[in-house]
């Protein structure tokens, strides 16, 4: 199967480029932006698993990102915990909270679910913003430690942090790939296509939706924890609805319900934002209409656009071969 092989080579090439970048460029600013993008991509994968593969758009995603970040921040800064245990605990805490919220949120459907999660996200933001005693309120949390060295592995330089985040990202992509292409993933997709039908062919929609929701909060929490340890300072704004909207744009532009979408969308929009820096706070003048037009004209984003084109070409080729064969048969 040549397509599978070429896919494999493309993937290896991309990973190689990602590994080589810090060695080829000494521009610390770009390395910083790229590392940050990787963190966003992880969060987008979480959102995509739930919205793209299971059909439930959660607008509380930044809230869970915030919970992950604050969990790491509070455990280390206020709890005096060292980095690694906190780093593993933070996504777990997010997941546990996600489980209980999901249990209730998933009783609602479609628009109700979106509105419900929008409100949950707002409540999380308000709690972080107003509960000064715990979170430091608008002043935020400072002095969050970054990853500490593991034995001989040095993790304190900018390059090392880049590789650390890249490793986590590759792990996440691998996990998502495995999940989506498994029977579990097929169950998610069946629910997205037609929930009633999925249930009538024996899929426990409640269990699968909850699993997808909890997984999505896990990835949000993981991304949040990475963010906190990378930026070292967090404020309530990271759980604001605007972050959810950013993640949504990354996902939709790249391609909702596709495996490559989160990477494509996030990198593209981040690069575009860098190019459009003169717009500063006005970048949504471009990204807002972009979001709306993509969802109207190419609902599965850039990745979906490519896939559609690819399958059409394949089908055409096949038809071509068939007609060729037919004409050959006719001649002889």
Question: Is the separation of the CB atoms in 61 and 46 below 8 Å?
Answer: yes
Indicate the residue among 216 and 229 with the shorter CB distance to other proteins: 216
Least distance between other proteins and beta carbon 116 (Å):
5
Query: What is the enclosing helix (H) or strand (E) of 242?
Result: helix 241-254
Q: Is 184 near other proteins (CB under 8 A)?
A: yes
Q: Is 187 near other proteins (CB under 8 A)?
A: yes
Least distance between other proteins and beta carbon 283 (Å):
7
Q: One symbol per residue from 192 to 231: x for binding other proteins (CB under 8 A), - otherwise; what is it?
A: xxx-xxxxxxxxxx-----x---x----------------
Question: Is the separation of the CB atoms in 97 and 198 below 8 Å?
Answer: no
Query: What is the enclosing helix (H) or strand (E) of 318?
Result: helix 301-331
Tokens representing residue 227 in the block: 């963010």
- How many of the chain's residues bind other proteins (CB under 8 A)? 72
Cα–Cα distance between 83 and 76 in angstroms, integer? 7
Q: 161: closest CA among 298, 314, 36?
A: 36
Q: Enumerate residues 6+ apart whose C-beta is below 8 A from 246.
A: 40
Site for other proteins in 47-66 (CB under 8 A): 51, 55, 57
Provide the 8-state DSSP code for 277: G
Provide the 8-state DSSP code for 153: B
Indicate the residue among 268 and 295 with the shorter CB distance to other proteins: 295
Cα–Cα distance between 105 and 116 in angstroms, integer? 7
In the block, residue with structure tokens 């459907």: 109
Tokens representing residue 224 in the block: 């949040």
Q: Is 12 near other proteins (CB under 8 A)?
A: no
**For other proteins, which stretch binds (CB under 8 A), given 10-18, 37-45, 159-167, 181-189?**
181-189
Indicate the residue among 35 and 117 with the shorter CB distance to other proteins: 117
Indicate the residue among 56 and 230 with the shorter CB distance to other proteins: 56
Q: Is 91 exposed, middle or buried (0-12, 13-18, 19+ CB in 10 A)?
A: buried
Site for other proteins in 70-129 (CB under 8 A): 104, 107-112, 114-116, 118-120, 122-123, 126
Among 183, 329, 330, 331, binds other proteins (CB under 8 A): 183
Q: Is 284 near other proteins (CB under 8 A)?
A: yes
Q: Is 281 near other proteins (CB under 8 A)?
A: yes
Tokens representing residue 19 in the block: 């590994």
Indicate the residue among 21 and 286 with the shorter CB distance to other proteins: 286
Q: Is 287 near other proteins (CB under 8 A)?
A: yes
Cα–Cα distance between 221 and 224 in angstroms, integer? 5
Least distance between other proteins and beta carbon 291 (Å):
4
Q: Is 159 near other proteins (CB under 8 A)?
A: no
Q: Is 67 near other proteins (CB under 8 A)?
A: no
Q: Is 160 near other proteins (CB under 8 A)?
A: no
Q: Enumerate residues 6+ apart whose C-beta is below 8 A from 66.
A: 124, 125, 128, 224, 234, 236, 238, 239, 243
Q: Is 182 near other proteins (CB under 8 A)?
A: yes
Site for other proteins in 246-265 (CB under 8 A): 248, 252, 256
Among 88, 299, 309, 319, binds other proteins (CB under 8 A): 299
Q: Is 325 near other proteins (CB under 8 A)?
A: no
């Amino acid at each position: 199967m040549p397509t599978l092989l070429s896919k494999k080579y493309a993937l290896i090439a991309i990973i190689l480029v990602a590994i080589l970048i810090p060695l080829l460029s000494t521009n610390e600013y770009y390395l910083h932006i790229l590392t940050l993008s990787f963190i966003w991509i992880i969060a987008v994968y979480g959102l995509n698993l739930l919205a793209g593969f299971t059909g439930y758009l959660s607008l509380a995603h930044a809230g869970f990102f915030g919970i992950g970040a604050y969990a790491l921040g509070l455990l280390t800064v206020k709890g005096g915990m060292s980095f690694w245990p906190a780093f593993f605990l933070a996504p777990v805490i997010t997941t546990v909270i996600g489980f209980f919220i999901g249990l209730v949120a998933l009783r609602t459907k479609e628009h109700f679910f979106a509105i419900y999660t929008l409100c949950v996200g707002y409540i999380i933001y308000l709690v972080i913003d107003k509960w000064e005693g715990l979170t430091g309120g608008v002043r935020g949390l400072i002095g969050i430690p970054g990853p500490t060295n593991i034995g001989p592995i040095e993790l304190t330089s900018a390059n090392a942090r880049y590789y650390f985040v890249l490793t986590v990202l590759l792990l996440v992509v691998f996990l998502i790939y495995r999940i989506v292409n498994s029977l579990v993933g097929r169950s998610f997709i069946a629910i997205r296509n037609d929930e009633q039908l999925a249930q009538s062919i024996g899929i426990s929609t409640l269990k699968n939706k909850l699993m997808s929701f909890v997984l999505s909060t896990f990835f949000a929490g993981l991304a949040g924890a990475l963010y906190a340890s990378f930026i070292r300072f967090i404020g309530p704004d990271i759980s604001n609805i605007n972050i959810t909207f950013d993640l949504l744009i990354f996902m939709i532009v790249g391609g909702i319900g596709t495996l490559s979408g989160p990477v494509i969308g996030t990198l593209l929009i981040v690069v575009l934002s860098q190019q459009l820096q003169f717009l500063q706070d006005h970048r949504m003048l471009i990204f807002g209409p972009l979001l709306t037009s993509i969802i109207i004209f190419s609902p599965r984003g850039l990745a979906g656009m490519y896939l559609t084109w690819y399958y059409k070409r394949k089908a055409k080729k096949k038809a071509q071969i068939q007609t060729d064969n037919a004409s050959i048969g006719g001649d002889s």
